[in-house]
Amino acid sequence: MYQYNEIDQTLVDERVAQFRDQTKRFLAGKLTEDQFRPLRLMNGLYLQTHAPMLRISIPYGLLASRQLRMLAHIARTYDKGYAHFTTRQNIQFNWPKLERVPDILADLATVQMHAIQTSGNCIRNITSDPLAGIAPDELEDPRPYCEIIRQWATLHPEFAFLPRKFKIAVSGASNDRAATQVHDIGLYLIESEHGEIGFEVLVGGGLGRTPVIGQVIRPFLEKKHLLSYLEAILRIYNLLGRRDNKYKARIKIAVRETGLDRFRELVECEWEKIRDGMEIDPARFENMRQYFALPNYDHKAATEANPDSRRDRNPAFQTWLKYNTAEHKIAGYRAVYLSLKAPDSPPGDVTESQLDAVADLADRYSFGRVRSTHRQNLVLADVRRSDLFELWGKLVALKLATPNIGTLTDIICCPGLDFCSLANAGSIGIAAEINKMFNNLDYIHDLGDIKINMSGCMNGCAHQSVGHIGILGVDKKGVEWYQITLGGSSDNYAAIGERLGPAVAKDQVVETLAGILDVFTELRLEDEPFLDMVRRTGLQPFKDRIYAVN
């Protein structure tokens, strides 16, 4: 993975010093709350319902074991012993004290981590495929490009006060696992007809109040122009994006109001002026690729007898193997998902002792590396097939082996009303109810691939509008209600979910979900996935069932 050089380290250290000074000036009354707000947000710090919330950046979701141990230390020392992974592959702490935040940042800097641009109206963490580098369906590892973009975006002097937040994702595989199309800029690594690898560039995607699927602004961009093209888009957006209404300030609205063709014209005209001066040297790409070189796999792993001993025929192990591991491009290895969706804990949460234990497991089984996923789980990407049984046993003991990846209970969930000052409704409680109601693993496995995304407000941190089943908490005169959508998706065929009907009361959410699943099991054709069925039948059969009953 990328290792800081002196420049990277100095920048992060100086950012800590700057933020320490800003915090000091705020506490001394020299910065007003209005002035401090954007400054602290640009360093991931929110003032929340109970305490400040600090969001820490995990560039494209890649962590070293020593960084995990540092996160465990922070959870223990400055927080209440746990943390929460987010859909931007970041991690957040919900109970730090404002005056200790500079110390937390200083601790993070010792392991090449920071909280820069994890919030605020600036370029946020660059996200990517959690299986980057090892997925069999990959054209090229996107992470070197993510890191080049990360460096360019970090403390970019021109783009720190954008109209609104700005999110970029890069995917290099034929199956999109990075929700690329719902980003302000989405980049797909593709091969041109001449065999050259470059980027397809999408613009104007985004979730939140007005979910929009990104559109192609440039079908093929040569790699050397990556940064100049991004800069041109950002500059046009910075100048054009609306500043009179924060709900209309994202680039998706600027693209819609300007029209894609006109927007493209403006971008390309700007790009013409800057691209020659900003070409990326092939040596820089090569140098960056070396940081993401594959680890030293044991070639003997490929020829090891397929483990079919009695031990490995254990049905619980087999189930876990099926749901929580994924194919690896190197024979003899698999990627292992660590489910952060145990039935009795909030989705995406992890304790300090789990963080430490995962760091040890990463060192023992996966070359000391861990990845976070946008669905709020973790991945050990390089586990030898013959180690899987042993690893499974250890994960079971840590409650990280719930075999539910990609199933009904692998819910994306925001912190909701329990923690977040923006939220209108609870989400963690509903997730707990869903887990209580649907506790039969065989039933869940029969249902197959179903993605539930649930947010406690319109801001849509949990991407509810692209959930196969989306649940959105809303406030109606002080009472929590839930709007349900069906048919959303953030994969290659991205789609915004369609509203099922009027919002349902809090105590009706799980029952409604059960009704939806009943319709599905009755009408699905053989092993048809949920999303396929919704696309085939439309919402009518679901509406008939849910609203006829009421």
Give min distance, CB of 30 to another protein, in A: 9
Q: Which is nearer to another protein, 139 or 278 (CB)?
A: 278
Selected binder of another protein within 27, 239, 302, 514 (CB under 8 A): 239
Kindly tell me which residue out of 121, 373, 465, 485 binds another protein, with binding defined by CB under 8 A.
121
Contact of 139 with 223, CB cutoff 8 Å: no
Write the secondary structure of 223-279 as one string of H (helix), E (strand) and C (coil).
HHHHHHHHHHHHHHHHHHCCCCCHHHCCHHHHHHHHCHHHHHHHHHHHHHHHCHHHC
Q: Does 364 contact another protein by CB under 8 A? A: no
Q: CB neighbours (10 Å) of residue 297?
A: 17
Cα separation, 117 vs 81, whole angstroms: 24
- Least Å distance between CB 266 and another protein? 12
Rank residues 4 and 389 by Cβ distance to another protein and give the closer one.
Answer: 4
106 contributes a contact to another protein by CB under 8 A: no
Cα gap 179→452, rounded to integer Å: 15
Of 127-135, 235-243, 256-264, 326-334, the window that binds another protein (rule: CB under 8 A) is 235-243
Cα 112 off chain centre by: 20
Q: How far apart are CA 282 and CA 344, in angstroms?
A: 50
**Contact letters for another protein, residues 132-171 (x by CB under 8 A):** -------------------xx-xxxxxxxxxx--------
Reading the block at residue 176, the tokens are 């999109």
Distances (CA, A) of 390 to 215, 300, 323, 400, 420: 46, 19, 17, 14, 39
Q: Which x/- pattern, by CB under 8 A, does the window 11-50 give for another protein?
A: x--xx--x---x------------x--xx-----------
Q: Pick the closer one to another protein by CB: 126 or 504.
A: 126
Beta bridge partners of 187: 170, 201
In the complex, the smallest distance separating the C-beta of residue 161 from another protein, rounded to whole angstroms, is: 3
Binding mask 240-259 for another protein (x = CB under 8 A): ---x----------------
Report yes or no: 93 and 75 within 8 Å, Cβ to Cβ. yes
Nearer to another protein, 274 or 474 (CB): 274
Binding mask 270-289 for another protein (x = CB under 8 A): ---xx--xx-----------
Cβ distance to another protein smaller for residue 243 or 436: 243
In the chain, the amino acid numbered 335 is A
Nearer Cβ to another protein (183/235): 235
Q: Is 398 in the site for another protein (CB under 8 A)?
A: no
H/E segment holding residue 442: helix 441-447
10 vs 421 by CB, closer to another protein: 10
Nearer to another protein, 18 or 210 (CB): 18
Q: How far is the CB of 13 from another protein (least distance, A)?
A: 10
Output 14 or 196, the one with its CB closest to another protein. 14
**CB-count burial class (<10 Å; 0-12, 13-18, 19+) for 210:** middle
Q: How far is the CB of 387 from another protein (least distance, A)?
A: 39
Q: Please spell the DSSP secondary structure of 13-75, one letter per residue.
A: HHHHHHHHHHHHHHHTTSS-HHHHHHHHHTTTEEE-SSSEEEEE--GGGEEEHHHHHHHHHHH
Give me the residue label for tokens 């300090």: 352
Reading the block at residue 481, the tokens are 């209600």
CB of 359 to another protein, least distance (A): 29
Find the shortest distance in angstroms from Cβ 15 to another protein.
Answer: 8
- Distance of closest approach, residue 206 Cβ to another protein, in angstroms: 19
3-state SS of 149-215 is HHHHHCCCCCCCCCCCCECEEEECECCCCCCHHHCCEEEEEEECCCCCEEEEEEECCECCCCCECCE
Cβ closest to another protein, residue 144 vs residue 163: 163
Give the interface with another protein as residue ranges (CB under 8 A).
Answer: 7, 10-11, 14-15, 18, 22, 35, 38-39, 121, 151-152, 154-163, 235, 238-239, 243, 273-274, 277-278
